[in-house]
Structure 1
Amino acid sequence: MKRLYVVPFLLLSVLGCGSAGERFLGRYAVTGTAHSSIQELGNRSSQVSETFLVSEGTTSELVLTDSEGKCFLLAEVEGEVASLTRGASCSWSDSGVSFTLTLTHGTFSLSGGSGRFDMAGTVTATARGKMYTGSFFQNATITRLGE
């Protein structure tokens, strides 16, 4: 009889642990500043005000996506920090110019219901058939939104 009780208990114990990234799952308001420097186009700073969804990934522990579908970022969890996967990207168009950000590094970290979402990498802008390259970085805070 004892075996019958031990096996379900062990299964529930293992299943109840959840993934390392479980505490990150949810929707977040992201606010901060993004800076870019693109050859021939100059430097630009802009306010960041986005909503991101953090969900479980299939090829990574976490997937971060913005509400407009511009970004698809993969991340792995170590302690209280989710490290964004190098090479992940965000793409969009603005006033006839197409932009693609490609990450070299970034972190998504929590402390209670708030934290940081910082990232940096390269940026490519395509305008009038010509490509321009540069760099970018973002410094932002995150606040968990109610479910």
Structure 2
Amino acid sequence: MKRPCAFPFLLLALLGCGSAGQELHGVYAVTGTAHYSIQDIGHYSSQVSDTFRVSEGTVSELLLTDAAGRCFLLADVEGEAVVLRRGSSCTYPGDNGLTLTVTLERGTLSLSGGSGRFDMAGTVTATAWGRMYPGSFFQNATLTRVEP
């Protein structure tokens, strides 16, 4: 027998109703700051302002994709959080001809009432001037649902 759904104090509390994470499906505005530390380039921070779609995954419970198609993050529901899978990556154009490819080591997404946190960290490879430069990154961001 399927248990009835209660009033959603946390969107994730509804996981017993439907497929895991289905309540999270939708489009979210993401804003925050990403910080990079890259060998031979230095420390670099940039504003994060993006739109992500959360949908059902095929090899994971959830798939997070950005509007520009540069980022595909696999994620699974674990308790009251969504945990991003290690090894997922995104590629972004940076300043002064840099291209940044970030690879996740850890990340979480948590929502309450249509808004929440979207934090992640891992390695970064900057490509510029015909060379690759290794480093690390972390992002602290908020997200707000803009479409169901």
TM-score, with length taken from structure 1: 0.86
2:26, 2:19 → 1: CA distance?
14
1:129, 1:46 → 2: CA distance?
23
Query: Which residue is equivalent to 1:24?
Result: 24
**Structure 1 residue runs of 4 or more that deviate by more than 6 Å after TM superposition:** none
1:23 is paired with a residue of what secondary structure?
Answer: helix
Query: Which residue is equivalent to 1:44?
Result: 44
Q: CA deviation at 1:143?
A: 0.5
Q: CA deviation at 1:127?
A: 1.0
Q: CA deviation at 1:142?
A: 0.7
2:23 is paired with a residue of what secondary structure?
Answer: helix
Kindly provide the amino acid, as one letter, of the partner of residue 60 in structure 2. Answer: S
Kindly provide the amino acid, as one letter, of the partner of residue 111 in structure 1. Answer: S
Query: Which residue is equivalent to 1:63?
Result: 63
1:72-124 Cα distance to aligned partner (Å, 9 max, x none): 00000012211000000001333422211000000011111111000000000
1:20-70 Cα distance to aligned partner (Å, 9 max, x none): 211111000101111000011111111111100000000000000011111
1:17, 1:138 → 2: CA distance?
31
> Do residues 118 (structure 1) and 86 (structure 2) align?
no
1:93, 1:29 → 2: CA distance?
19
> Do residues 134 (structure 1) and 135 (structure 2) align?
yes
1:76, 1:109 → 2: CA distance?
12
2:118, 2:135 → 1: CA distance?
21
| Unaligned runs of at least 5 residues, structure 2 | 5-15
Kindly provide the amino acid, as one letter, of the partner of residue 127 in structure 1. Answer: A
Q: What is the RMSD of the two structures over their aligned residues, measured on CA atoms?
A: 1.8
